[in-house]
Amino acid sequence: MNGWQTLLYKEVLRFWKVAFQTIAGPVLTAMLYLLIFGHALEDHVKVYDQVSYTAFLVPGLAMMSLLQNAFANSSSSLIMSKVMGNLVFILLTPLSYWHWFVAYVGAAVVRGLVVGLGVYAIASFFTQISFAQPLFIFLFAVMGAAMMGTLGLIAGLWAEKFDQLAAFQNFVIMPMTFLSGVFYSIHSLPPFWQIVSHCNPFFYMIDGLRYGFFGVSDVSPWLSLSVVGGAMLMAFAIALYLLRTGYKVRS
């Protein structure tokens, strides 16, 4: 294996060695949401015709888990290396900033997809889920994981201690994820909050993935694809610039 492949392998192995915590834990959390909300609201909430509320929840919970874990993988890896002081061993290698980017974001995508697939696999025992547009499922899952892995990389570069990273996750990532339509359709919201939701890129990830499953969505899937793609490319550009300049890494 060459340099970036070795770093990618190391990053994947890092979370796979503790899969009970990094994979099984998030899947269990998503299943608890599914069981509690599905059981409580199944007979009271109807979002799409021919789609039960429990089935409606599955794409949102899968994407929410995917996004949170992709972010956590790259951000936690970097901050741990910075705090423990072993980042210097990677700096001593002849790896370019592109190699860093591909390895850290690639491992985040792998973890996000594994968690998302785990949520879907377990949820399939509780409700029937269709695949109306499999290509859209694949595109939104990969793009969402790549974007969040990149945001995690940016947060890991910026943060100097665990408290800063936790604040970024608790006050930015978590609210945007929960307010993105995981548990509801934005058409059920007052006009003001519908406008706010349309400014949240996480909403387009979840709505696009839901379109892949059911063939229906709150906004055009092509609009969702454009917004997510644009946000992902912007995150890529920022992360690559920070890596190229050695922001808080080489200084």
Instruction: Give the amino acid at 107.
Output: A
The residue with tokens 């790549």 is 146
| Contact indicator for 64, 31 with CB cutoff of 8 Å | no
The two structure tokens encoding residue 150 = 């990149």
CB neighbours (10 Å) of residue 131?
A: 12
Q: What angle (nearest 5°) sits at the alpha carbon of residue 224, between those of residues 129 and 101?
A: 95
Burial class for 84, CB neighbours closer than 10 Å (0-12, 13-18, 19+): exposed
Q: What is the rounded distance in angstroms from the CA atom of residue 64 to the CA atom of residue 153?
A: 18
CB-based burial, 14-36: b 16+ in 10 Å, e otherwise: bbeeeeeebbeebbebbbebbee
The SS3 assignment for 89 reads helix
Q: Is residue 250 part of a domain?
A: no
Domain count, the chain: 1
Residue 97, CB half-sphere, CA atoms under 13 Å: how many?
Answer: 17
pTM of the model: 0.92
DSSP per-residue letters across 92-120? TS---HHHHHHHHHHHHHHHHHHHHHHHH
Question: Domain for residue 251, yes or no?
Answer: no
pLDDT at 204: 95
Residue 196 structure tokens: 């706010």
- pLDDT at residue 210 in the model: 92
Q: CA angle, corner 79, sides to 117 and 232, nearest 5?
A: 50
Task: Give the pLDDT of residue 49.
Answer: 73
Tell me, what's the pLDDT at 1? 59
**Structure confidence at residue 179 (pLDDT):** 83
Domain that includes residue 201, residue range: 3-245
Q: In a structure prediction context, what are the per-residue pLDDT tens digits for the chain, which is 251 residues long? A: 577 889 999 999 999 999 999 999 999 999 999 988 877 777 666 677 777 888 888 999 999 999 999 999 999 999 998 888 888 778 888 888 899 999 999 999 999 999 999 999 999 888 888 888 999 999 999 999 999 999 999 999 998 888 888 888 888 888 888 888 888 888 888 888 888 888 999 999 999 999 999 988 889 999 999 999 999 999 999 999 999 998 888 75
Report the amino acid identity of residue 123: A
Q: CA-to-CA distance for 118 and 66, rounded, in angstroms?
A: 10
Residue 230 belongs to a domain: yes
